[in-house]
Every structure is written in structure tokens, then in C-alpha cells.
Structure 1
């Protein structure tokens, strides 16, 4: 019998990254039966997009994935994702496990282990990293507050009304704060397509988001378009006046 856990599982989400759909959907049913909210990705290059959209509390990650392997996915995630990452894989060699842990995974579980073992270890990780998970979704920068989990965006205690797409765009910029993100990365992460060099759709979305933030009193330099490169959100600009 699995020990009683402290966290309310009904509010806990898991992203399964697994290209074998039989394995993925079986695990999805098992986790949902325990009360988890479950999201799925079947390719390595779809993970960032799913994390931005759903901000999962934990990620179960296979190694052998189409387009981008699980190791590279983990390395990319650790640039911004602070929640638990668990490799769940059929490659249960010592070398595979050591590599997974060295690049930032929190645990490594072979697929031939029982669901009870997986669940127990998952619950342990979720409890130990509860505060870290919350920090992964919320940004408090002076008078600016953003919490994707609560669907909250405020400046000087005044709510800023954003669409779902704008929440995802702002969250994407916040987790990449103070660095230039390319148009290609923005298109790939938020829309799942490569930038064709001609589309101005992302520029329009950035302009609309920026207009709402400026109207709320945030400095116009908070989000800047970097010519021929992409976009940059600057936390330093929050100390400046409008």
C-alpha cells in the first residue's frame, strides 16, 4: 500500500513525454485514476510548447524520442523549468541513469518497474519540490506580479486583462527574461512551427501585449523587439518610469 501523501493530487499536473502511444495512454489512465491532471507530448520538439501552455508540476520523460532525444530535452528544460523531471525509460543501463542524473533529472525509473513504485517516487518528489514548483509559475518583480497558475497579471495592484495566448507569450518571455529570444524559438515554442522569415504574426502579438502593459503603466522598454533577432524582456526596466 502506498503511504498517504500530503499534496492535493487533484490540483497536480504531469506531462508525459513518450512516443509510444500505448505506453503513454496506459500511464495517462493510471495517473488520472489517482487524480492527476495529465498532459502528453509525443515528440521531443513539442515539449517546450506543452510546458509553456500547461506549466506541469512534474515531467515524465523518455530518452528515445523523435526529433530531439530526451537528454537534450532535459538540458533545454533545465534552462527555465524548476519542477521535477523523471526519466522513465526502457534504457535502464548504469550509463544511461548516470547521464540522466548528471544533466539535471531528479530521478530515473525503468519502464519495467511497477506503477506503484513510479507513483511512490513521483509523490515523494512532488512533496519535496512543492515550493520550487510554485516558483516556476510565478514572477514577482517589484510592483509587477504574474502567476500563470492563478491566471494573474497585475501592476501596482491593478489587474491587466490578457488573453490565453498573451498569458503564454508573456510567460515565455518571463522565463527567458533578460535574454534575446529568436523569432524561430518563439514560433517553434508557442505555435509549433518554424519561422519562415516573412511572417509578422509574432511581431503583432508582441505589439498587442506590449500595448496592454504600457497602458497599465509599465515602461515601454519592458518588452523590446531586437532588430533582425527577436525579442527581449528586461526586468531592469520595471524600475523606470513610463
Structure 2
């Protein structure tokens, strides 16, 4: 065990995705002694929601998870998440490691390794992928300046006042910009529930967010509701605004 506080880290966050709570909380405590901010998810289908909410700098991911396995979680994350993903697993076979690396993980560590080794591998990847990790947290599209870390949304240097829910919704649309996201995807990620096929709650939230963006000077075409499919945020509308 390495000495406490030998590696002070400021505002660097790690998401542990591990269903074994003893393992998860032990690792959480060890990382916190090194100055990390630590978040936890215990099921595969909770990961997207935690990433949107907390934008971790690094993700430690088990393979054998309830609901969605770690491989499928990794594939889904790589659609938008640019920070380091490290498989931390008891399945330390060559085939498991090869599959993890092939689908986009940055490293693969057996749970049997010491915390000192795990910490060194996390630190190395954070240093190597610092710029890419930051790309998850900010967007500069035309006159729009969005910074998740600072909880800031500006257009043409004027702040747009958003509620926490609206801020997370806009962030989700931005990381999936120019792609259609279904109502069920949005509900699952932001609310942790499945879309019941009837509720218009998300449509109302989209309308309120869109109204604030339009009042700030952005085209009404910035967010489109695609019938029977979902929602799409247009980067072209942002880039062309104020030209």
C-alpha cells in the first residue's frame, strides 16, 4: 500500500463501475486518499447517466456487470466519451484483454494487481489523454460557449440561464450533436427510466430548452423533433448564428 497523499490531485474525477460493493468502496477510499473525486456506478445501465452528470476524467470498468456487461458499456461510451477507459476485472484471460482493447479501452488491469500499480496506470493515462478528456467537457460552436466543468453556457458572450436539468439535457444533445437520439435514450440516460410511450414530459423539456436558446439569438432549427424517432441538435444552426 502506498503512503497517503503522495499524489495530490485537484478536481480529477474517476468513475468506478463495479457491482461488488466491497471492491468498489475499497477502491474509492484508496483513490480518495490520493486526492481524486470518486463516483460510483453498480450496474451497466447506470453508466451513461453518471457520465453525463459528473463527466469523469477516467472510468474504471468491470466486465461482469448487471443489466449491461462492461464490453457493451465500453462500445456505447466510445460513441462520445474521449477520456481513458480502463477495464479493471477479475477476468484476466488473454481473450478478455484482447477484446477489451479492440473495442476501445485504453488499458486492461487484473483486480489482483496492487493499488500502487492501478494508480500508476490511471495517472499515466490521465497525463497522456488530458486534452482528449477535456474535449468531453466543453464545446465552442460558432458563438456558443458551453463548459460542463464550469457549468457555463454562453451565446455571443451572454450567459443563458439554464436549470440543472436543462443544462444536462443540452450537454447530452451536444455530445450526440447532428445525430438523432430517441426519447428512450434520453429518458434512460437522464432519468434512469424507460420511456413509457405516452409521456410528453421530455417534449416539454426540449421545448423549454429550445425557447431559451432561441431567445438568446439561436435559430429555431437548433433542436428538431424528428417524428417517431427523437431529437437532433444541429451544429450548423449554431455555427451560422450571429454571422
Q: Secondary structure at the match of 2:166?
A: helix
The Cα shift of 1:241 comes to: 5.0
Whether contact under 8 Å (2:90, 2:110) holds in the other structure is: yes
Q: Which residue of 2 aligns with 1:72?
A: 72
Distance 1:241 1:12 in 2: 34
Match of 2:30 in 1: 30
Q: CA deviation at 1:52?
A: 0.4
Match of residue 147 from structure 2? 147
**d(CA) in 2 for partners of 1:115, 1:42:** 20
Structure 1 counterpart of 2:218 = 218
Task: Kindly report the root-mean-square deviation, in angstroms, between the aligned alpha carbons of the 2 structures.
Answer: 1.4
- Contact 2:143–2:241 (Cα < 8 Å) also in 1: no
Counterparts of 1:179 and 1:166, CA distance in 2: 19
Aligned length: 239
Partner in structure 1 of residue 119 of structure 2: 119
- C-alpha deviation, 1:225, in angstroms: 1.0
CA shift at 1:137, angstroms? 0.8
Residue 195 of structure 1 is matched in structure 2 by 195
Check the 8 A contact 2:101/2:108 in 1, yes or no. yes
1:86 matched residue in structure 2: 86
User: How many angstroms apart in 2 are the aligned matches of 1:137 and 1:112?
Assistant: 33
How far has the Cα of 1:33 moved from its partner?
1.0
How far has the Cα of 1:10 moved from its partner? 2.3
**1:42 aligns to what?**
42
Q: Is the 2:143–2:239 contact (alpha carbons within 8 Å) kept by the matching residues of 1?
A: no
Tell me, in whole angstroms, the C-alpha distance in 1 between the residues paired with 2:240 and 2:12: 37
Distance 1:165 1:104 in 2: 30
Normalised by the length of structure 2, the TM-score is 0.95
- Normalised TM-score (structure 1): 0.96
SS of 2:10 mapped into structure 1: helix
Aligned residues of 2:178 and 2:233 also touching (Cα < 8 A): yes
Unpaired segments ≥5 residues, structure 1: none
State the match for 2:178 in structure 1.
178
**Secondary structure in 2 matching 1:195:** coil
Deviation at residue 167 of structure 1 after TM alignment: 1.1
Q: Quick check: 1:159 aligned with 2:145?
A: no
